Structure 1
């Protein structure tokens, strides 16, 4: 009995350490700042429309249908905002919804790692993910791709589990496909489905009766996700459903898009930085398995998912790193499979590279914080304040204490870590957690001023009419969403209508020219920009009343 109680608790130490690293990496930055420019501002506009009582079946941004993504994140983000309304503003609560789905992605990625390679590899897959450079910022934003990450991880786990537990595995796969479809749309779901169809072709493990049973459960659990919302959109407006399908297929794939370009291999080109350090570890796994193990589940499943996602997304219009986030999941599984076969020299090289890299990053972060908030060194401080004029640096004890604690925890972890095959991945993941902890604590204020819209919207507010309409020209979707979120103003876009009755016109100018452009029949009553952004400027015009001649 003594052995039972003295030995067993230590079995949980690696799992607890992994959980602590995941939370230390994930939690900072989820609350405490405004919606930032880009996808997060647009997503918050969609969530604000749901909170304002707009029909949930029709994604709406600033009063207009917005069909680029299905409404699942908007609905769940609005639910988080309503539940947490007594304690948090809506944008912080919505960001917590994204954090919840990232945590689900880490959990199911770990489950899949255990299923594919053994119990020791589950936490390693999660560590590879939090160590991936491409996930560093995006995991902390309120964007629908966080649901997609969870869906991809569930599909992989369910497919691996279906070999021995068909019904549970099929149900998980169907749910994962449904989440993927309702998060971003058709292309990612198609890529996952093609990967599943390839499994029995390349591996005998999926050529059995269990596979057929799992496929039946997959269809059953996937069908509600694929049918209910499109049916509700059709009931609301058949034309909108047709427009949504057109945007998901004809406009997104290069085969049919009028703006089509040839396939560029984009998602192969950006992997060296985006998927570091997963891709070299994944290559080692493939190399080590090249002779006898290429048909095992641990090779075929992640390789099929990675290839399918990379190729299918490569045929979409305007590829971007954000769209490539799901590629990180299968690469993390392959990378986790390399841990116990990696040669000692390579493992030590990664370990020391992690220590030196993040040591330099930490020192640099403190120097830049001192320049930003304390004015020391003076030359660097002057340079930074030229880049972001108007920023008032001041000392805030709480974020500084948090940053110090992150540094202390990182050093203690490195000092106490024993040499083992897992040590390089733990060191790299801890370094990424340290880097994000420092960024979120020391630089959240200047980043908030640079990337947020609150100050420029509040500056515009006194000049806006209380009742009459406001037209807009060239204003990006994120800015229109924030205008609605902060001020309750929904502009009529002149790209769709001339809006001749509106006495006010809001224009976005890009390019950094100093002179304010004049418009015949209008006069400038306000202009402004986000602090530190010199190229994006907003100008508010008021229509000049024509004089009546008798």
Structure 2
């Protein structure tokens, strides 16, 4: 028997304009008025896009940051970002133009999550039991309400916040996973050649975005699912989906083989990076998955777990098996990865959000209220702390909080921004109105269980990206030190050799105009070294460039970083 018994009143959908407003309120803060950050591959991803946009065909085929090879993952996200820089850079500035691609990636993921859940929610096996006197929801209304809930859950996932706002391959990967799920639903419904080719094209784009490990795992999972009783689907997946995926992914490889950018090819290094993602499952990977997955996928995983349990007797229903196939594929990829990282957890979020939506109709009122109160208490406390810390930085009261906040960013001078303050105030008032509506009206709609979670996450992010943005920029950006380094380099045809990392290299080149050595530069007149405050690096020889050969021009660090130290040398001729 189906576990859902629901009246039509519980399926009132959110207006489309409200969904779009929530999505834009989520994605726009954190993209405007901020520098590329050193975390979450943001600065390094922007560096690849910026290098491509101002380079030649070789730079587009071989991803690199002004001479530093970056063949890992794949070039697709950087191609799109570089294209946005070419189109909008002269008008908006290169860093903001690159983030237009991020907005597109995010909206693609939201649309795919909504429509995939909508298609699954309309299926006959998904519908609630018919009531004795009628009044059950129509399949279309039921599907829309479930889709609204899935999107709200997706927006509320904590792990999506930073990655969806970064200029990185991960921002595109999570959206393409949701798109692949949409294509898979279409294929399993129609079993047509067109949808099989569409799914293969999306898998090929995933390969070009972040390697072939997850697409291969997802394709294998779908093949196993098809083997449970549909030979026609097996043929579609093997004869159409897989060849199309290989063909799409091979376009970059073939272009590199033909063009030979910089007289070489990134294929070997890219394949090595993919192979390094595969090993035997380990306790370290399991520990990482459990430790970080709990908060990374909150609040989706409790609802998703309940959905799997509630629908256990309908274990062949596609609204459970299809998302579960993608979820299991993502979990397996995370377990076999010997180098745990947050990026590998992102593929779990779209299937978890969809599964969680189908858990909403079966949740008990007490469980829903518990999630609501947890969201209200936790997110309200977090937003209150953000306001209090901002007041402390502006006024110096309370003193202990102001001292601790400013201690992290020596030299930072708080400035009052009226527009940012007004936006934060309006967002806070909206949150209070939402809480009051939820508590006083006690609506029966399905998405009531997650509206506070997603609304609270959006509020905290808006507050951070308005009230705290100057402070975070000062702490995370390399703009200041990059400009000081650039001022000490003679504006001539000289190159700079260096051991700095990808994020620093991208920031120094963009903000300071530092002409780093390229693929073909043999000897440079400048040397930029990075070490810690004790003068240690991974390679001790890098701390001493050679006495009598180099002259120290500048030495410094970021005020907010007590460990990193930079020294600029000029060759003595």
Q: Same fold (TM over 0.5)?
A: yes
Of 166, 170, 187, 1:162 maps to: 187
Q: Aligned in 2, Cα 1:449/1:287: closer, same or farther, shift over 3 Å?
A: same
Of 330, 341, 344, 1:323 maps to: 344
Q: Is the 8 A contact 2:282 2:335 kept in 1?
A: no
> For 1:71 and 1:372, how far apart are their aligned partners in 2?
41
Q: Corresponding residue for 1:455?
A: 480
Name which of structure 1's ranges 420-429 and 337-346 shifts more when overlaid on structure 2. 420-429
Q: Corresponding residue for 1:150?
A: 175
Q: Does 1:45 align with 2:47?
A: yes
> For 1:491 and 1:79, how far apart are their aligned partners in 2?
23
TM-superposed deviation, 1:374: 3.1
Q: Corresponding residue for 2:29?
A: 28
TM-superposed deviation, 1:19: 2.7
Name which of structure 1's ranges 399-408 and 212-221 shifts more when overlaid on structure 2. 212-221
Q: Aligned in 2, Cα 1:518/1:214: closer, same or farther, shift over 3 Å?
A: closer
Q: Corresponding residue for 1:509?
A: 531
Q: Aligned in 2, Cα 1:249/1:362: closer, same or farther, shift over 3 Å?
A: closer
Q: Does 1:114 align with 2:118?
A: yes
> For 2:480 and 2:110, how far apart are their aligned partners in 1?
35
TM-superposed deviation, 1:274: 0.9
Of 205, 227, 230, 1:179 maps to: 205
Q: Aligned in 2, Cα 1:194/1:81: closer, same or farther, shift over 3 Å?
A: same
TM-superposed deviation, 1:443: 1.0
> For 2:233 and 2:456, how far apart are their aligned partners in 1?
42
Q: Is the 8 A contact 2:227 2:234 kept in 1?
A: no
Q: Corresponding residue for 2:245?
A: 222
> For 1:497 and 1:100, how far apart are their aligned partners in 2?
35
Name which of structure 1's ranges 16-25 and 401-410 shifts more when overlaid on structure 2. 16-25
> For 1:498 and 1:319, how far apart are their aligned partners in 2?
35
Q: Is the 8 A contact 1:157 1:172 kept in 2?
A: no
Q: Does 1:284 align with 2:306?
A: yes
Which structure has the higher relative contact order (CA within 8 Å, separation 6+)?
2
- Give the RMSD, CA atoms, in angstroms: 2.8
Q: Which runs of no fewer than 5 residues in structure 1 stay unpaired?
A: 1-9, 546-550
> For 2:490 and 2:276, how far apart are their aligned partners in 1?
37
Q: Is the 8 A contact 1:187 1:248 kept in 2?
A: no
Of 234, 240, 246, 2:257 maps to: 234
> For 1:503 and 1:41, how far apart are their aligned partners in 2?
26
> For 1:61 and 1:218, how far apart are their aligned partners in 2?
34
Q: Does 1:270 align with 2:292?
A: yes
Of 533, 549, 561, 1:533 maps to: 561
What CA deviation, in whole Å up to 9, does each residue of 1:164-201 have, x standing for no partner? 22335324422321221111112122222222212123
Q: May I ask how many residue pairs the two structures share in their alignment?
A: 525
> For 2:283 and 2:214, how far apart are their aligned partners in 1?
19
TM-superposed deviation, 1:214: 6.6
Query: TM-score normalised to the size of structure 2?
Result: 0.85
TM-superposed deviation, 1:121: 1.2
> For 2:204 and 2:152, how far apart are their aligned partners in 1?
26
Query: TM-score normalised to the size of structure 1?
Result: 0.88
Q: Is the 8 A contact 1:54 1:60 kept in 2?
A: no
Q: Which runs of no fewer than 5 residues in structure 2 stay unpaired?
A: 1-10, 123-142, 537-541
> For 2:87 and 2:13, how far apart are their aligned partners in 1?
33
Q: Corresponding residue for 2:329?
A: 308
Q: Does 1:426 align with 2:447?
A: no
Look up the SS of the partner of 1:53 in the other structure: coil
> For 1:411 and 1:488, how far apart are their aligned partners in 2?
46
Q: Does 1:140 align with 2:165?
A: yes
> For 2:422 and 2:239, how far apart are their aligned partners in 1?
54
Q: Corresponding residue for 2:76?
A: 72
Q: Does 1:349 align with 2:374?
A: no
> For 2:284 and 2:30, how far apart are their aligned partners in 1?
36
Q: Corresponding residue for 1:5?
A: none
> For 2:308 and 2:417, how far apart are their aligned partners in 1?
49
Name which of structure 1's ranges 157-166 and 301-310 shifts more when overlaid on structure 2. 157-166
Q: Does 1:444 align with 2:469?
A: yes
Q: Is the 8 A contact 2:71 2:270 kept in 1?
A: no
Q: Is the 8 A contact 1:523 1:542 kept in 2?
A: yes
